[in-house]
Amino acid sequence: MIKTRLISLSQIRRRRVYVFGLMALATLLLGIKWISAMPTEANLAAKIIMTTLFLLTSAWISLFFFSSLFGFFELLRGRNVPGVKWVAETTALKTKTAVLMPVYNENPHQVFANLLAMARSLSQTGQGEHFDIFVLSDTTNPKCWIEEEDVWNQARKLMPKKINLYYRRRPKNVARKSGNIEDFCHKWGVLYDYMIVLDADSLLDGHTMLRMSQLMEANSDTGIIQAPPMCINSHSLFARIQQFAGRVYGPIVSAGLAYWQIGDSNYWGHNAIIRVKAFIDCCGLPVLSGRKPFGGHILSHDFVEAALIRRGGWQAWLLPELRGSYEECPPTMIDFAMRDRRWCQGNMQHLKILVSKHLHPVSRVHFTIGIMSYLSSPLWLSFLIVGMLVALGHEYFPPEYFEKEQTLFPIWPIFDKIGTIALFVISMSMLIFPKFLGIILYIKNNKSSQIGGVCGALKSLVAEIFFSALTAPIMMVFQSKFVWEIFTGQDAGWNTQNRGGSTSWSEAWHRHFGHMILGIITTIVVWKYINPLFYWILPVTIGLMLSVPVSVLSSKSSVGDFFLKHKWFVIPEELTKPDIASLAKDAYNFLNISQNQGVVSLIKNPYLLEVHNALLDSNGPAPEFSTEITDNAKIKLDNYVSYQKTPDFSRDEEIFLLYNPEILREAALMLNLA
């Protein structure tokens, strides 16, 4: 059992002074050194711009470094987060928890397989009756809708007896995931004390969910407990590298955040438990004024919900001690970037919320960190561009050694080359050093045979650093483009996340052509006009020039399997699969996978048709359709029934039919008579 550790307000303040004081001190010292190392002949405007950009990027690096450093020492000493009251794992629950799985055009078989696994894992704890599971669908694809109902009907028959599996679909996905959760709270929240919020790729061990509910009961002033998710089930090289990095560095990052956040932590949108009363009382999210992308519904709702719950007087905890929390990585660099585009817009919306009244100061820090995580890319890019322009100007406009007034001695321009190199080395060390701290704990806490050997772990670390160096410039340009699009009024929308597949050469050319051209042009210009910077800029331009092959090759599962076979990027969960992952794999094999044809599947299967019709009551009122859509839908359905002509329904035509049970029953009857 984990022991409860007490902490006072003065100790909490002291921790924050340590982290942010060291960040400020390091930024100040680096800034002073930068000012002294700058070329004296640079004009004042260039000096001010470059110094400002340097200070902002240095502050960001310093916060990451010192937070990770404190996290390392916390984990090294085996210390858990203080201030949380822990209880025995055998403590009987007195409350009820809803497990919520919001979905949006996801693979139903994988979703319900994961939920079946979690239900069986909960049942093994002996307290499964305290949990119910809800699939909250915002699916807009009509064929996926019918497939969800079909697989739900299969899964509920396989569920443990004491755990219920419910399904409902909203006709309109207002406010997306946050609106989906809010809709659940308004309709069924009164029946539950807590809710565990998942993503479509989430896997939570039953003992972890039980522990989260026990902690909620024991800490009555707590509104949110976040269990840090770990990536598993990765196959492509890109995903496997992200998975390895998360497994090695993730723990010290989480522990570092928990060190200074204490009861003022953030919420990451999934794999967390929330007190329903706190959510209902505090989390009615506003619709931001103005046009998208800054206006409208809030995309990154999780940060805002955590801030509102904290403003309401509830505590929020990030607990690295909670194991058994899993998710999956995006399989390709492009998928990673597309998810980042949505997150970038959501974090830029936080610029409006940052100045809201009565927020806790730490909540404002969370918003600032989220905003800076994306603004740092255009800041770095701007820093590089301004630096090259200054160097280019030096080549074309040589300094004047004698002023207009006659002087005895020339005025020599001063450029501290050694100092500049030292700043570069220090900055890179602050970025990379936490990775070595992570690998120390990784090797210390795992048997050599579980991680592909110590040499395997070390060579994987070096390879991950090399791969990060290749991809960092690509992501920098991606994110800079995202920030530009947002500030010029371009909305990201909300697309279904790709959870499988690879990147084709044609798609890579389309997505990375600009990166490649930028890298080539920059390399040529620097080589020809500012040759002294050539080798310094090469680490940036190489990644850009190779962006197409790097993106394609890293997206392939075959390449990932090759590296796994040769003991690269191995994590313990690959060699010894977690019980919950094994349960999910078994459950997937139990579910029948059939070719879904939407409306056609319904009228061919009377039982599935009645299941669908019975579920319509919980879906809410049907949307309105134009006469053209309704007429075309009926004609196409009649042609199928009469002549077996495969219907080419539009999305709206098929949805119209799915909301009209009488039309479907009549078509099913006519089809059977034929």
**pLDDT band at 425; cut points 50, 70, 90:** confident
pLDDT score for 646: 83
Structure tokens at 507: 């798609």
Encoded amino acid at 242, one letter:
Q
**pLDDT(198) > 80:** yes
pLDDT score for 423: 84
Please state, in angstroms and rounded to a whole number, the distance separating the CA atoms of residues 615 and 368: 43
**pLDDT(421) > 90:** no
Could you list the beta-strand ranges (E) of 283-351. 315-318, 325-327
pLDDT tens digits along 515-553: 999 999 999 998 988 888 888 889 899 999 999 999 999
How many CB atoms within 10 Å of residue 308? 25
Quickly tell me which residue has 């930024």 as its tokens. 27
Report the pLDDT averaged over residues 452-472: 95
Give the pTM: 0.94
pLDDT score for 534: 87
- For residue 609, give the 3-state DSSP assignment: helix
Q: Are 398 and 392 in contact (CB under 8 A)?
A: no
Structure tokens at 249: 């560095």
Mode of pairing for the β-strands spanning 315-318 and 222-226? parallel
Q: Are 318 and 335 in contact (CB under 8 A)?
A: no
pLDDT score for 565: 93
**pLDDT(392) > 90:** no
pLDDT score for 643: 84
Please choose, from the candidates 208, 232, 237, 109, the residue with its C-alpha nearest in 3D space to the C-alpha of residue 577. 232
**pLDDT band at 411; cut points 50, 70, 90:** very low
Q: Are 590 and 212 in contact (CB under 8 A)?
A: no
Please state, in angstroms and rounded to a whole number, the distance separating the CA atoms of residues 157 and 164: 10
pLDDT tens digits along 305-349: 999 999 999 999 999 999 999 999 999 999 999 999 999 999 999
How many CB atoms within 10 Å of residue 221? 11
Averaged pLDDT score across all residues of the chain:
91
Mode of pairing for the β-strands spanning 194-197 and 272-275? antiparallel
pLDDT tens digits along 570-582: 999 998 999 999 9
Q: Collect all residues with Cβ–Cβ distance below 8 Å to 595 and sequence separation of at least 6.
A: none
Encoded amino acid at 449, one letter:
S
Angle at 564 between CA 561 and CA 567, to 5 degrees: 160
